[in-house]
Structure 1
């Protein structure tokens, strides 16, 4: 048996060993492992692609995602009550609306101090407007009561001045409230944060005042009112606290504190004036009686139940109002029949949007078929006519329909001239659903024609000729061969027209009257007129949810992959 000879390099030759690493992995030209180099190259490629689309991504985030997120937040946000009336909301936690009785004196005192600060900051009218959405009349109640708050403290000031004229001086009050002991910075900081939440502004700066801990314990209501005065005077008005006369609410707090204050052990500044004021035994007027005299609605339990119900920072009330329900202390319930409007508007919006979409399909399909099958020169001429409405203002087109459809308009005049309509019984085609459907069909028709034309242009005409050569009639060839291939264009056009029509508000506002308006008109009203942005956000969120639900249903039934624009 003879040995076999072997030619060429062996498997372990140096030529092969130079292309592999110590562990046998393949190496790139730079000596790095090939897998690491590939991953690094892919990362660079992805970062390069991200850099190219970053401007568009930022634009979409800022102009689309952020507004939607803000809308979703506004639909549940409700911090104006708790920020404007923090003390009142806290005291109301112990009040039971089921008793059908008004709250106790502590609630009215807290309301006075909260409302006084809010009135100085001009925030009480905003609070009244918010609560007026839930109970009519609260806006005027807060506005009128805010104007009469000074009267409560003025009577006390007059009687204190008869005892000691220094009670009207800012320097005297500053000396009294700062005291001689340790300052209570935490109390003042809490009042500053309350002011910031109420005004929704950042208020940097030094107040230049802090109540003494001894005074804060001895005169708690006075310290509360004076700290509000000092914070607002220094941070908002920019004045020196010691040089300004205190608010009338400070005197109300002092009178309440002097009823129970133990001045025997107190020896701080202005102690003699405090003792003289306490010894004078000035008659005390309850805050409840003051508010009842200002407006009898303040002793109406339903007013307080509304404040209590909408005191949490987040509320489902806007969404409930959007579906003709309301939030009450007993829970959720339907609104009275004469106040139910939004469900009807949602139904009308869905119905009319579907009618407009169907009208655009019926009118747009023949036009698109004509464009796709005519010679190029004629098709281009017709395409110019299709695109011509885009060169005309939407407002002009809508106003033109208002002129044409009115009872003394062009269409009625022609029908009367032809003898089809009696002059005394002209057709009512404006300020109703018919007018809205006609005007919006005209405006949205190009959005149906263009996708249909794009799809039909890609259907080979030989298919129809082949069907006819096999014995099919013109109708059978169209229905069995041509139409199924044009369905993706119908789907694309229907989605465009339906989504555009469901959010239209200019055309329905001009030609729709009271029966042809959409839910979008109500959203625009709450944004621009009633300023009820929370309800507008809730309505918009529901409308967005309905569109997404219909989109999902369309995808399940037809398949979004079958929708083509060309």
Structure 2
């Protein structure tokens, strides 16, 4: 190779003509042969992927073990009782379990008119029910759908031992009401342990002798009116709590810390006082000879004979429940307002917005999650309130919860109480669904 050729070979990136090959040949010769790499392993030789999967499974099991006690508590104290309540609303075997002969006749003959076998089965069941002292349960079950029949069963059962064929005439001699077709229709429906009659009663409806659904007598139509009253009063209380709680929550969020802490103590103070004490305090304030009326008379606003009746009516219930539920509105609002930077409103004011415009277009939309949470929380609590309406509501201020308690504790019609509670639960869930569709449950903030 001459000197010129040596210089060309010494230049970077130049290959002598006689030693040039294809690019592929040069590249293939420059890259070393690829070798298979072994999978990553832990110190004890387990593949890393397998070890990570095991660690994730263990973490999930630990999390499930921590949540399991709470889950069992919720199932035992919430899910199971609600399930039992809903089952009890459609199940009542007080008649079917103690009148076996008549139940068997109904099963065989369906809607046929009672024959001699039916009358005989009725007499046999009355005798046996009186012997095992279950005739009261049988009469009570029929009385739920047809008033006045409990005494019919108990009085006839005392004479059943002396009855002889023909049993139809014997029963009609004991009481002519046994020939009423409506009574036999009620017994036919009661022969099944599962029924929807209690839900019909909960909406002021029943079945006539032909089995058609009709309204009950006007003087017995109470449940629908009380349902509407409960919803109306709950909405009113929620709105009043919002109007009263919004400025208080705004003060809590904007005042200096030393003042806001004092105001927060005043807001939380009712939680440290018994609910019964707070309710009876309102009774002292609102009664006709109470503090409020005495002050109004002393100021000359009303006369001695013009004292305002604020107890044992809707007014007293709304006032007392608004005071009791007000903290449940303030706290969600405060938790949302606390996170709103004050600079937003100041920026709107600096751009020419009035105070009302800045509040309406900047501040209020950011508090909507707190408003939704507060209204929903107060409404649900108001719908199921019991103690306050029972003490200050009287006859016109009671809610559906008071009727549920009445049927549980006094009339012992647990199936009707369960049906009322089931309808109330369905109404609350429906309103919750509507709120989710219109506002969005994701926008609700409790803290």
Fold shared per TM-score above 0.5: yes
Aligned to 1:302: 182
Identify which of 306, 309, 324 aligns with 1:443: 324
Moved more, 448-457 or 463-472: 463-472
Answering whether residue 81 of structure 2 is matched by residue 67 of structure 1, we say: yes
2:207 counterpart SS class: strand
Q: After the TM superposition, which residues 84-233 of structure 1 pair with which residues of structure 2 at under 5 Å, given as runs?
A: 84-93=98-107, 103-152=114-163
Answering whether residue 315 of structure 2 is matched by residue 434 of structure 1, we say: yes
Quote the Cα distance in structure 2 between the aligned partners of 1:301 and 1:553.
Answer: 44
Aligned to 2:349: 468
Q: CA deviation at 1:347?
A: 1.0
Distance 1:472 1:309, change over 3 A: same
Q: CA deviation at 1:421?
A: 0.7
Aligned to 1:11: 34
Q: CA deviation at 1:143?
A: 2.2
1:326 counterpart SS class: strand
Answering whether residue 425 of structure 2 is matched by residue 425 of structure 1, we say: no
Give TM-score, length-normalised by structure 1: 0.70
Identify which of 547, 555, 564 aligns with 2:436: 555
8 Å CA contact retained: 1:463, 1:481: yes
Quote the Cα distance in structure 2 between the aligned partners of 1:29 and 1:114.
Answer: 80
Quote the Cα distance in structure 1 between the aligned partners of 2:110 and 2:260.
Answer: 75
Quote the Cα distance in structure 1 between the aligned partners of 2:403 and 2:289.
Answer: 29
Quote the Cα distance in structure 1 between the aligned partners of 2:44 and 2:170.
Answer: 88
8 Å CA contact retained: 2:185, 2:211: no
Where does the alignment leave 5 or more consecutive residues of structure 2 unmatched?
A: 1-19
Quote the Cα distance in structure 2 between the aligned partners of 1:37 and 1:123.
Answer: 66
8 Å CA contact retained: 1:523, 1:539: yes
Distance 1:147 1:31, change over 3 A: farther
Q: CA deviation at 1:408?
A: 1.1
Q: CA deviation at 1:307?
A: 0.5
Quote the Cα distance in structure 1 between the aligned partners of 2:151 and 2:58.
Answer: 64
Aligned to 1:529: 410
Give TM-score, length-normalised by structure 2: 0.88
Q: After the TM superposition, which residues 381-396 of structure 1 pair with which residues of structure 2 at under 5 Å, given as runs?
A: 381-396=262-277
Quote the Cα distance in structure 1 between the aligned partners of 2:89 and 2:206.
Answer: 14
Quote the Cα distance in structure 1 between the aligned partners of 2:444 and 2:107.
Answer: 56
8 Å CA contact retained: 1:354, 1:498: yes
8 Å CA contact retained: 1:92, 1:308: yes
8 Å CA contact retained: 1:309, 1:327: no
Quote the Cα distance in structure 2 between the aligned partners of 1:137 and 1:74.
Answer: 23
Aligned to 1:22: none
Where does the alignment leave 5 or more consecutive residues of structure 1 unmatched?
A: 20-25, 153-283
Aligned to 1:339: 220
CA RMSD across the alignment: 2.3
Aligned to 2:194: 314
Aligned to 1:159: none
Quote the Cα distance in structure 1 between the aligned partners of 2:204 and 2:363.
Answer: 47
Q: After the TM superposition, which residues 502-517 of structure 1 pair with which residues of structure 2 at under 5 Å, given as runs?
A: 502-517=383-398
Q: CA deviation at 1:323?
A: 1.1
8 Å CA contact retained: 1:78, 1:311: no
1:428 counterpart SS class: coil
Quote the Cα distance in structure 2 between the aligned partners of 1:42 and 1:79.
Answer: 51
Q: CA deviation at 1:139?
A: 1.4
1:81 counterpart SS class: coil
Distance 1:461 1:315, change over 3 A: same
Q: CA deviation at 1:104?
A: 2.5
Quote the Cα distance in structure 1 between the aligned partners of 2:29 and 2:131.
Answer: 104
Aligned to 2:17: none
2:242 counterpart SS class: helix
- CA deviation profile, 1:429-474 (whole Å, cap 9, x unmatched): 1111111110100000010011111111111112222222222222
Q: CA deviation at 1:93?
A: 4.7
Aligned to 2:363: 482
Distance 1:9 1:115, change over 3 A: farther
Aligned to 1:158: none
Q: CA deviation at 1:137?
A: 1.5
Q: CA deviation at 1:98?
A: 8.4
2:95 counterpart SS class: helix
Quote the Cα distance in structure 1 between the aligned partners of 2:86 and 2:296.
Answer: 50
- CA deviation profile, 1:343-369 (whole Å, cap 9, x unmatched): 111111111101000000111111111
Quote the Cα distance in structure 1 between the aligned partners of 2:349 and 2:106.
Answer: 82
Distance 1:11 1:495, change over 3 A: same
Quote the Cα distance in structure 2 between the aligned partners of 1:106 and 1:30.
Answer: 84
- CA deviation profile, 1:378-433 (whole Å, cap 9, x unmatched): 11111111111111111111111112111111111111111111111111111111
Distance 1:374 1:124, change over 3 A: same
Q: CA deviation at 1:7?
A: 7.6
8 Å CA contact retained: 1:432, 1:512: yes
Quote the Cα distance in structure 1 between the aligned partners of 2:83 and 2:323.
Answer: 33
8 Å CA contact retained: 1:361, 1:494: yes
Quote the Cα distance in structure 1 between the aligned partners of 2:155 and 2:288.
Answer: 47
8 Å CA contact retained: 2:106, 2:191: no
1:333 counterpart SS class: strand
8 Å CA contact retained: 1:145, 1:294: yes
Identify which of 146, 158, 172 aligns with 1:292: 172
8 Å CA contact retained: 2:205, 2:214: yes
Q: CA deviation at 1:304?
A: 1.7
Answering whether residue 64 of structure 2 is matched by residue 50 of structure 1, we say: yes
Q: CA deviation at 1:306?
A: 1.3
